[in-house]
Structure 1
Amino acid sequence: MALRSLRANLFRSALTLLGVIIGVAAVVTMLAIGDGSKREVMQRIESMGTNLLLIRPGRGMRGGDSGVNLTTEDAELIAELPNVTAVAPERGTSSTLRFGNSDHRAMIQGVWPGFMETRDWQLASGTFITEADLASFAPVIVLGQTVAENLFPNGEDPVGRYVLVRNVPFEVVGVLAEKGANAFGQDQDDVAVVPLSTGFVRLFGQQHLDSITVKVADAAAVHHTEATIQELLAGRHSEDAFRIRNTASILETAEAAHNTFTLLLGSVAAISLLVGGIGVMNIMLVNVTERTREIGVRMATGARAGSILLQFNTEALVVCGIGGLIGVGLGLGAAAALGLVGMPVLFSFWPPILAFSFAFATGLLFGYLPARKAAQLDPVVALASE
């Protein structure tokens, strides 16, 4: 009966379905985009490692006086602490690298051998900087993928070649594996690394560090290790001379922010579903008004009020159920299309189920009032209506 009623007014039924379809499709698509964005940011942050401590200069530590800056001595003392597996002090500068007729401007990082372990980075070819390179101030360099592709565009192997950095020849001993963009969208492969000691002497001109990255063995004890490092550096510098960031706390903050963002997207989409529900109620009220005589005939021939209530509620549920199914399919299709053009999307089981359930609940809620009005009609008055 409900399907026959929908077929009797196809155009009106289509308009009613449209509101529910758009609402459900919007919920499914928005939540897929929100979850996809969250996953991408979480993966980028996790690629840094969740057991890292990032030490940066604080106020008063950007000057040239090494007495008020992070130093390699700080890094050496941190490396001796318990629960610390690797320490990577870094100093960087932007400079142009040249090979033959090709040149490329990139970030040059002076590092220790522990850089690979703290960054969880692999080599594509060659070797990395060694302790011997560090001790001998060796003019060796390891290129990131972006730098290698720009300096050697014909696909030749950079290992064993010499590149110029500020007119200083550096031997390429290795090429880093591709890393991609970081959580802030910066190309991590647009970098070249040299021994920190060599960088101090030949490139940087100053002996202080930009940062110290510390990798801990037991992530559960990372907060205790952070407090130990805090106490150590506070004894060597002033309290506000450095900042320590815990990547686990960064991950938690980012996850909370994206959960809020996803909830916001879902709430905005749910409003359109609510509007669709109001449309269902309006159409059902029109149906009740137009079919008053039919209701009177049914009640006069023995139909109870509960039967009339069930009939009109069922019609509303059928409309929202069909609209919900079409909306879920349309939403998944729209999200898949967005994924093909490069937008991060993530499909999961619950958003379509929740969206369809909400559509079904909308039909039950907004279909009840028109059905109740129909069930309470006086049969005599209903039969006398035109």
Structure 2
Amino acid sequence: MVTDAPLIELREIRKQYGGNGDAPAVEVLHGLSLKIHAGEFVAIVGASGSGKSTLMHLLGCLDRPSSGSYLFSGRDVATLDSDELAWLRREAFGFVFQGYHLIATESARENVEVPAIYAGMPEDERAARASALLTRLGLSDKLDNRPSQLSGGQQQRVSIARALMNGGRIILADEPTGALDSKSGAEVMALLNELADAGHTIILITHDRDVADQARRVIEIRDGEIVGDSGVSAIKQALPAPDMTQAGRDAGASFWDDLREAARTAWRGMRMNRTRTGLTLLGIVIGVASVIVMLAVGEGAKQRVIDEMGSLGTTIMYLGSGHPSNGGPPGRLTIEDLDAVAALPEIGHVMPIIGDPVTVRRGNVDRQVYAFASAYVMPLVHRWRVGKGRFFTPEEDEQLAPVVVIGHKAWKNFFPDGSDPLGKQILIVDAPFEVIGVMAERGADSGSQDYDEMVFIPYNSGRMRVYDARAEPDYTVVEAASEELVGKAEAAMKKLLIERRGRDDFRIGNAAAKLQAAAQTSNAMKMMLGLIAAVSLIVGGIGVMNVMLMTVRERTREIGIRMATGARERDILRQFLTEAVLVSVVGGVIGVASGLFIGAALLFWNVAVIFSLSAIIGAFACAVATGLIFGYMPAKKAAGLDPVIALASE
């Protein structure tokens, strides 16, 4: 029985090419009208150039007419957007091409699975269905063979299996026997007749009258017009048409399935083009490794500068009495003032100091030596370790203990025989002091006395035993709680002392500012090294873009095949974008490993290197971002290809 409502109805369809710019307009179809019912086996026959292939592209929703109406199951196809057209190709149509149009890098089973991927069929289910279809078509021993390993007839059967993967309610076969020998052609026609008996709607495009006569309805087309139609024959059964109310509503390929498929395809492509892949990866690897190594070297150099400056005090300020800015007698800072400063949250340590060259004797050695009377925190504030013995304690300072720590050169001067000075006594002015430690060798600041020649005594011991009960320190070393708080500490100290004293009769020298400027210079150098390295990463990204553009050009037909089997534009975009990112991820991983290896080699050669986790993560993230940014344009180009033009490419 033939129902009144046709499955496919064409009304006055016209298709025109050209007409833009200097290209002349050429009309291929001239007001063509046609009805095809579900379950029919129709052959559209005509000579080359008659418009039959153009008609097939319009029927399969691969192309749109210039004018006229195409109704599918009563729905005007012109009202469908690109996602809805992709849904219709997935759910309704299965394409069988003369040139087979199989993806060369995929196995027979994987080629058959392609439509199901975009329909969102679970991986295990689609693998089982693809295997069952190929087994049904006599290819159970060819599941893992690639197209180049199959004969023409076998490739066409794979193409038919692919057309049936999502149900294949309508099989559009374009010259399915054109490239086959007579035996293989007969097998394909027998298979199409079996599908017609099972209720599939078969639309066969051919130029061969003998092939067309094996169909149950023959439509002849000439010069873009129908010139003959044998009429609708009896239909045994028909598969139900897809529910057009669901057009575009399904999710299609899931994100993770699409991502996994794209990654698998990309990885296979990378393996098959090892040389090109290696050269592409090289740019990313060099970029990532350069960023990691240069930032590590820069951080190592900065830390070395900070360590070397640390002994000078990157957080140190000097506080002393002075004349008020508006005139008047000089001020005198008291111990209470210093205690108040020490209580500020921005301040780490307050260390009053008295120091002058005095006579120091041991035996027959008599020298003028700078006696440095300070608090017990001196090694901590000046980042200066004790090389031998120990430094004095707070209790020894409070008890006026006569103990002394001598500089490295002072040890050599007063103990020329190199004997152990610990427990021995020296005279500072006229007071005996017991040597309890020797400072590590340090050297002299520019224009200053050599620190290694000094002797260090507790502040109170020095004030009372050496410096005649001096009331106030010569100056006070004030250490900020951290490098970041130096400026705030100075401001808070000024505010506090003015409030306490009522005038600015003090002076603050910020030694840390100069040292921090040097550290900032080191930061600038590190940033410059990082930017230089980032340039190589950008160059690598441009390489990724060039390779992806080449890949799109090489795989244009594959893109057309995927679109014909139901891929949406975003599926194609996601696939090629994933491939670009995968290249960058692999390059990033190798780059990180290479950077760490080079850094380890530099450490072995005693180069100051400090790896930064943030730099490593940042370099890797930049590599991935490079893939996204530079891969987007090629992926967008791939997604925007015309399916008909893509399928016709070589």
- Band of TM-score, shorter chain: 0.5 to 0.7
Distance 1:7-1:44 versus aligned 2 partners, 3 A rule: same
Aligned to 1:205: none
Aligned to 1:28: 292
Kindly state the Cα deviation for residue 307 of structure 1 after the two structures are TM-superposed.
Answer: 3.7
Equivalent pair of 1:22/1:273 in contact (CA under 8 Å) = yes
Secondary structure of 1:54's match?
Answer: strand
**In the TM superposition, what whole-angstrom CA distance separates every residue of 1:213-260 from its partner, at most 9, and x where no partner exists?**
24799x99875444455688996xx97x8433386x889878877666
Distance 1:279-1:118 versus aligned 2 partners, 3 A rule: closer
Distance 1:50-1:375 versus aligned 2 partners, 3 A rule: closer
Kindly state the Cα deviation for residue 21 of structure 1 after the two structures are TM-superposed.
Answer: 1.1
Of Structure 1 and Structure 2, the greater helix share is in 1
Give the unaligned 5+ runs of structure 1.
60-66, 202-207
1:343-362 → structure 2 map (5 Å cutoff): 343-362=607-626
| Aligned with residue 537 of structure 2, among 273, 280, 289 | 273
CA distance, structure 1, for counterparts of residue 577 and residue 371 of structure 2 = 69
1:306-385 → structure 2 map (5 Å cutoff): 306-385=570-649
**In the TM superposition, what whole-angstrom CA distance separates every residue of 1:130-189 from its partner, at most 9, and x where no partner exists?**
68989xxx9x96323576479879974123568999xx9x977232454879999x9x97
1:74-113 → structure 2 map (5 Å cutoff): 83=342, 87-91=351-355, 108=370, 110-112=372-374
| Aligned with residue 381 of structure 2, among 119, 126, 134 | 119
Aligned letter for 1:270? A
Matched, 1:283 2:547: yes
Give the unaligned 5+ runs of structure 2.
1-264, 324-328, 344-348
1:1-386 → structure 2 map (5 Å cutoff): 1-36=265-300, 53-55=317-319, 83=342, 87-91=351-355, 108=370, 110-112=372-374, 116=378, 119=381, 124-125=388-389, 128=392, 142-145=405-408, 148=411, 156-159=419-422, 173-178=435-440, 190-193=452-455, 211-214=475-478, 224-229=492-497, 242-245=507-510, 263-300=527-564, 303-386=567-650
CA distance, structure 2, for counterparts of residue 30 and residue 91 of structure 1 = 45
Equivalent pair of 1:293/1:383 in contact (CA under 8 Å) = yes
CA distance, structure 1, for counterparts of residue 617 and residue 339 of structure 2 = 53
Aligned to 2:82: none
Aligned letter for 1:354? G
Larger RCO (CA under 8 A, 6+ residues apart): 1
CA distance, structure 2, for counterparts of residue 130 and residue 329 of structure 1 = 54
CA distance, structure 2, for counterparts of residue 224 and residue 319 of structure 1 = 55
Distance 1:360-1:4 versus aligned 2 partners, 3 A rule: same
Alignment RMSD, CA only? Answer: 5.7
CA distance, structure 1, for counterparts of residue 476 and residue 287 of structure 2 = 50
When normalised by structure 2's length, the TM-score is 0.42
Kindly state the Cα deviation for residue 332 of structure 1 after the two structures are TM-superposed.
Answer: 2.5
Distance 1:281-1:152 versus aligned 2 partners, 3 A rule: farther
Aligned letter for 2:437? V
Aligned to 2:170: none
Secondary structure of 1:322's match?
Answer: helix
CA distance, structure 2, for counterparts of residue 147 and residue 337 of structure 1 = 41
Distance 1:226-1:154 versus aligned 2 partners, 3 A rule: farther
**In the TM superposition, what whole-angstrom CA distance separates every residue of 1:188-214 from its partner, at most 9, and x where no partner exists?**
97352256679989xxxxxx9984324
Equivalent pair of 1:145/1:175 in contact (CA under 8 Å) = no
Kindly state the Cα deviation for residue 351 of structure 1 after the two structures are TM-superposed.
Answer: 2.8
Distance 1:313-1:50 versus aligned 2 partners, 3 A rule: closer
**In the TM superposition, what whole-angstrom CA distance separates every residue of 1:33-73 from its partner, at most 9, and x where no partner exists?**
455555666677777889864237999xxxxxxx99x9xx7
**In the TM superposition, what whole-angstrom CA distance separates every residue of 1:75-133 from its partner, at most 9, and x where no partner exists?**
7685576747854325477x9x9999xxxx99945334567487376754267596898
Secondary structure of 2:454's match?
Answer: strand
Equivalent pair of 2:406/2:437 in contact (CA under 8 Å) = yes
Distance 1:257-1:213 versus aligned 2 partners, 3 A rule: same
Kindly state the Cα deviation for residue 275 of structure 1 after the two structures are TM-superposed.
Answer: 1.9
Kindly state the Cα deviation for residue 326 of structure 1 after the two structures are TM-superposed.
Answer: 1.0
Secondary structure of 1:158's match?
Answer: coil
CA distance, structure 1, for counterparts of residue 637 and residue 424 of structure 2 = 86
**In the TM superposition, what whole-angstrom CA distance separates every residue of 1:342-361 from its partner, at most 9, and x where no partner exists?**
44444444332232222112
Aligned letter for 2:405? V
CA distance, structure 2, for counterparts of residue 22 and residue 365 of structure 1 = 18
Kindly state the Cα deviation for residue 267 of structure 1 after the two structures are TM-superposed.
Answer: 3.8
Distance 1:81-1:315 versus aligned 2 partners, 3 A rule: closer
- Aligned pairs, how many? 359
CA distance, structure 2, for counterparts of residue 346 and residue 171 of structure 1 = 44
Secondary structure of 2:421's match?
Answer: coil
CA distance, structure 2, for counterparts of residue 306 and residue 378 of structure 1 = 14
Q: Percent identity?
A: 38
Secondary structure of 1:14's match?
Answer: helix
Distance 1:38-1:108 versus aligned 2 partners, 3 A rule: same
Distance 1:180-1:321 versus aligned 2 partners, 3 A rule: farther
CA distance, structure 2, for counterparts of residue 8 and residue 301 of structure 1 = 24
CA distance, structure 2, for counterparts of residue 380 and residue 227 of structure 1 = 80
CA distance, structure 2, for counterparts of residue 30 and residue 352 of structure 1 = 11
CA distance, structure 1, for counterparts of residue 622 and residue 644 of structure 2 = 38
**In the TM superposition, what whole-angstrom CA distance separates every residue of 1:303-328 from its partner, at most 9, and x where no partner exists?**
54444333322221111010111112
CA distance, structure 2, for counterparts of residue 385 and residue 273 of structure 1 = 34
CA distance, structure 2, for counterparts of residue 212 and residue 326 of structure 1 = 54
CA distance, structure 2, for counterparts of residue 42 and residue 324 of structure 1 = 31
Aligned letter for 2:509? I
CA distance, structure 1, for counterparts of residue 616 and residue 480 of structure 2 = 41
CA distance, structure 1, for counterparts of residue 305 and residue 445 of structure 2 = 6
Equivalent pair of 1:45/1:183 in contact (CA under 8 Å) = no
CA distance, structure 1, for counterparts of residue 620 and residue 480 of structure 2 = 46
Aligned to 2:151: none
When normalised by structure 1's length, the TM-score is 0.64
Aligned to 1:62: none
